[in-house]
Every structure is written in structure tokens, then in C-alpha cells.
């Protein structure tokens, strides 16, 4: 990713990008428009207009990166994942991630930047990503990741006085085949019956702290696709998390609170 191109000179985009690339010692071929995003600012009296940010994809042609003396930044080649992780602006990170995941679409979206006393406070996504290229049904192939979203219920967890007696009651009266962790219900995906998944049912002791900081007696686990992208998307919408994402043999997990104080578990399974 190159620095942003800003210019008050009378020049074409091609001339602007060529000059930008030349300043760091390389040659690029700008291929196509990839995204148009709007930024609105609150709390900045001198910046009341809506700004437009456009993204273009480019192909490296030749050259070796140099470090301009007048620029305090360091330029280097990086893997895509590392480059995205290095972006501190949550909106820019989310935009870039969306374009890289779905390279065949021109994306739109809107973000609200809030400032207080001229100091940055927060970024919130006010309009979710949408296609500007007429491709509303995105085809997912082996070179792209699935759309970041919830796909189903991964588990139902609830507190009770005696989990063992509760499991025995459900086994004796309702025929649920329980084990040490509760019960697992297997099913097949409607779109592809060859793919199997499962939903976990688990009673917890009243003293369990697993549902904290929620004071509720239950927690729902949601199965998701592309958890890392969903996390970045939620952050741009002002959602905070109670912990960091953790990865296990059976998937990735992270927790958050909903609007009414219910703790949510997001799970990207490996099945």
C-alpha cells in the first residue's frame, strides 16, 4: 500500500500515481478503481464537508524501493496480512481488507469520525460495505475468504444449580445423549449436504464466571465466517470486545456484549 495521494496540481490520476511511485523508486501500473468511501467528521469546525476516499489497485512493474530524505516514513515490501495488521486507522484497515478479500468488486461504504476538543475520539461505520459495480451476489472462490458474518448458532450455554443432575434429567426425559460437556447436535449444511457442523448445548454451574461481565444466566455462541474480518468491521462500528481472539484446534473465539448486556461468543469453527 502506498501513501495517500494528495495533490493540488492540475494532473491526471495516472500522472499523480506515477509521480508517487517514482518518489520511492518504483514503477507501477494502475489497474482499476477498487473502492469509494465517504468520511464524515464531527467535532472539527474546519472540516464539516464529507470527504471521499478512493482506492485503486496497481501492479508493480520495476524498481527498488528508496527512502526519500524529506519523508520520515520507512518504505518496504510486506506480506498482505502483515501490511493490513500495520494499519492503525480502523476505517482504512477495514476498507483495505474488504478490497483484498473481494478483488473483483468496486466497494462503497461510509464512516463517521468523532473528535472532541480537536482530539480524535472514535470511528464508527455508518453504512456497511456495498457493491458499486453491480455485483451484488459475490462469488466466493478458492482465492477469497467468505463474507464476514454470523452463519448460525454454535452453542447454547446456561447456568443451573446442579449441571450433572440437569444433564441427567434431559437425558432421562428428553433423550438427549449427554456427556461431560453437555451435548452436541450434529447437522448438515443446507447449501452443501456434504458439510457437517454442530451446535453445543451445555449447562454451567451457578458459580461459573464464564459469562462475566454479563449478569445474565445464559450465553449464546454464534458460528461465524471470517472472524478476523468481522472483528475489524465491528470495531469500526464502535463495538468493543471483552477479550482478544484466541485460536484452538477447533476454531477461533472472541467475546463481546450486546446492546442489553448479554455476553456473546463468536466462533469460527474448523469444520
Distance CA 17, CA 30 (A): 8
Distance CA 26, CA 119 (A): 36
H/E segment holding residue 265: strand 263-269
Q: Angle between the 90-101 and 227-236 helix axes, to the nearest 10 degrees?
A: 140
Distance CA 226, CA 269 (A): 10
Distance CA 216, CA 229 (A): 28
DSSP 4: P
Contact call for residues 32 and 99 (beta carbons, < 8 A): no
- 0.75 cut: is pTM over it? no
Pairing of strands 251-257, 107-116: unpaired
Domains of the chain: 13-131 (no CATH), 149-269 (3.10.180.10)
Distance CA 106, CA 243 (A): 33
Distance CA 2, CA 11 (A): 18
Distance CA 48, CA 244 (A): 35
pLDDT in tens, the chain (271 residues): 555 666 566 777 778 888 888 888 999 888 889 999 999 999 888 877 888 889 998 888 999 998 877 767 788 888 888 888 888 888 888 888 888 888 888 999 999 999 888 888 888 888 888 888 765 444 333 344 556 788 899 999 999 999 999 999 999 999 999 999 999 999 987 767 778 889 999 999 999 999 999 999 999 999 998 898 889 888 888 888 999 999 999 899 999 999 999 999 999 998 7
Distance CA 189, CA 195 (A): 6
Output helix, strand, coil percentages for the chain, rounded to the nearest 5.
20, 40, 40
Omega cis (within 30) before 215: no
Distance CA 100, CA 80 (A): 9
Amino acid at each position: 500500500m502506498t501513501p495517500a495521494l494528495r495533490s493540488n496540481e492540475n494532473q491526471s490520476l495516472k500522472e499523480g500515481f506515477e509521480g508517487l511511485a517514482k518518489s520511492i523508486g518504483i514503477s507501477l501500473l494502475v489497474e482499476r478503481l477498487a473502492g469509494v468511501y465517504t468520511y464524515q467528521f464531527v467535532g472539527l469546525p474546519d472540516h464539516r464537508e464529507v470527504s471521499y476516499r478512493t482506492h485503486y489497485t496497481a501492479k508493480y512493474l520495476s524498481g527498488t524501493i528508496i527512502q526519500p530524505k524529506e519523508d520520515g516514513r520507512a518504505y518496504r515490501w510486506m506480506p498482505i496480512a502483515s501490511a493490513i495488521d500495520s494499519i492503525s486507522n480502523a476505517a482504512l484497515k477495514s476498507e483495505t481488507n474488504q478490497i483484498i478479500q473481494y478483488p473483483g468488486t468496486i466497494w462503497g461504504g461510509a464512516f463517521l469520525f468523532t473528535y472532541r476538543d480537536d482530539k480524535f475520539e472514535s470511528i464508527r461505520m455508518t453504512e456497511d460495505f456495498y457493491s458499486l459495480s453491480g455485483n451484488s451476489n459475490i462469488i466466493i472462490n478458492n482465492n477469497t475468504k467468505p463474507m464476514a458474518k454470523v452463519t448460525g448458532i454454535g452453542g447454547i450455554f446456561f447456568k443451573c444449580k446442579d449441571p450433572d443432575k440437569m444433564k441427567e434429567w434431559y437425558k432421562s426425559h428428553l433423550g438427549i445423549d449427554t456427556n461431560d460437556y453437555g451435548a452436541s447436535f450434529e447437522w448438515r449444511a443446507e447449501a452443501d449436504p456434504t458439510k457437517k457442523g454442530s451446535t453445543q448445548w451445555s449447562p454451567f454451574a451457578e458459580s461459573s464466571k464464564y459469562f462475566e461481565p454479563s449478569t445474565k444466566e445464559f450465553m449464546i455462541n454464534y458460528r461465524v465466517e471470517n472472524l478476523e474480518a468481522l472483528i475489524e468491521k465491528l470495531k469500526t462500528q464502535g463495538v468493543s470486545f471483552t477479550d482478544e481472539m484466541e485460536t484452538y484446534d477447533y476454531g477461533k473465539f472472541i467475546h463481546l456484549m450486546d446492546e442489553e448486556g448479554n455476553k456473546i461468543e463468536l466462533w469460527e469453527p474448523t469444520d
